[in-house]
Amino acid sequence: MSIRRSMGTFLLALVLLGAILPAQSEARRNHAASAAEAAPTLRRILLQARNVPADRSAYAITGRVSDGNGNPLANVILVDSTGRSAWTDTDGQFRLADLPAGAYTITPAKAGYTFSPPSRTVAAPPGAAGQDFTASGAGFRRPVILLPGMGASVNWGCFLYENSCDDPAQWDWTPTARRFYQPLLDRLAAAGYSQDNHYLTVQFYDWRQPLAANVAVLKSTVDALKAATGGAEVDLIGHSMGGLLGRAYVQGNSYGHDVAHLITLGSPHQGAARAYPFWQAAYFYRTDLAERLALSVLLFQTMRRARNPIPVYALRQAVPSFRDILPTTNYLYDERRGDQVKPEAGLVQRNTYLADLNANLASLFDRAEVTTLLGQGLETPARFYVQDRAWWEWPNWDDGKPNWSREPAFMDSQGDGTVTVASAGLPAPADVRSFPGVDHGGLPGNDAAIDALFDVLGIPLASEQLPAPSAALAEPPIIALIADGPVDLTLTDPQGR
């Protein structure tokens, strides 16, 4: 909202000062000494915004306030030497209008910030555009939203008991996933990012559902954080599928032009071949014990609820999001035709959603600064040599059954074990950074990757302030049982208790 003139400016400024400043969290009020010293300046400037009679002349002074990275800064008050004032909008723009002839000194102010230049003097006539200011100081930071990958979060009531899946408060880390993200969470906490001050949010989402179905959840969180912090933009950090969700928001129709940086870690921008056996035949390929248990529970529950005895159909109903990570490039080779490529465009089971996003990469780069962090140097599934399915294997393997005897030929040596380098990267102007020997799950917790992430976001490195490793890093023991029907259960430990 821009405020242009009048007594209403003064009154509204006082109302906003009383309504907004007390609402700031304790962490935001405890700025560095320089920010504290700037606070009286803000009060003095607000008190200058007194009633000034309007003069219907054509003179105006306009400009933009941005941070050190060129991002717009909203809710900055600018007061001229006669007491007229205006606030910057979400694009950082301000306009002082209806100015009579004279010389005006324009001074910006916002708690926690200093400005360069501190003020500008402008003559009217003729008035002037482009009277810009750059903000810096202890208050400069954007909220960070962390988007975990597929399978990293769980809602037990939703998964097991058919309760609602829509309440974000009911989602939490899976027993084994948090340890992969804890080093990043600890580093962000040491840099002053927390849920209490609204500068860090872990955005859990129903990763079983298609990407498009989760965009509204992310947008709601972005809007809430902007309102809570008074900022115009957020930074998104997405691991694996989380990076694709970030892309879906930025490239979507509901985008609010409010993401400064999108950083993806090991995200399959061209899909992941590992998803093929799962989507084609409910075949758990290269999964660890925890993944296999989780997927087995989902499959079992879906088959029971839907009374669908065909696993592949039940699984596609339970986790339709797997279609969104199928490869979008050619990756199947037909043994019946001498290992000729089966064009991806002619396959029965296709990932059209991600293909559409990739066909419009210009919209991604126009709307946010994009960085991709990827692991490399590990054996990673990249292709399949396939045969026709046997008649009894219907409805599995619509596009061909892998010849498992040739599995070594499926692999690419350049990847993170799950996503190839070719898929995890993006073309210029994306900033692509690689980390040799780091696997897919290890990217969020890798020190070098976190350093790179902080560098992109402009967060100072403060290793001396790091807390001790969290106890949550220890992998908890897991017992998983699947039973259909009433059972009597007795657990006995090694001591016979």
Q: Residue 410 contacts by C-beta under 8 Å, 6 or more apart in sequence?
A: 273, 381, 382, 383, 384, 385, 402
Nearest CA to 376 out of 430, 453, 438 is that of 438
Q: Would you write out the chain's pLDDT as a tens digit for each of its 497 residues?
A: 333 333 232 222 222 223 222 333 333 333 333 333 333 344 444 444 444 444 445 688 999 998 877 778 887 888 888 888 888 888 889 998 888 888 899 999 875 677 888 899 988 887 688 899 988 765 567 899 999 999 899 888 887 777 788 887 889 998 788 999 999 999 999 888 988 888 999 999 999 999 999 999 999 999 999 998 888 899 999 999 999 999 999 999 999 999 999 999 999 999 999 999 999 998 888 776 666 666 677 667 666 666 667 888 888 888 899 999 999 999 999 999 999 999 999 999 999 999 999 999 999 999 999 999 999 999 999 999 999 999 999 999 999 999 999 999 999 999 999 999 999 999 999 999 999 999 999 999 999 999 999 999 988 775 444 444 444 444 455 555 655 556 777 777 777 77
Beta bridge partners of 107: 79
Tell me how far CA of residue 384 lies from CA of 83, 273, 394, 407, 410, in angstroms: 71, 8, 19, 8, 5
Residue 143 tokens read as 């909220």
pTM above 0.95, yes or no: no
Three-state DSSP state, 466: coil
DSSP string, 76-144: -EEE-TTS-EEE--TTSEEEEEEEPSEEEEEEEE-TT-EEESS-EEEEETT-BS---EEEESTT----E
Q: Cα–Cα distance between 25 and 29 in angstroms, integer?
A: 6
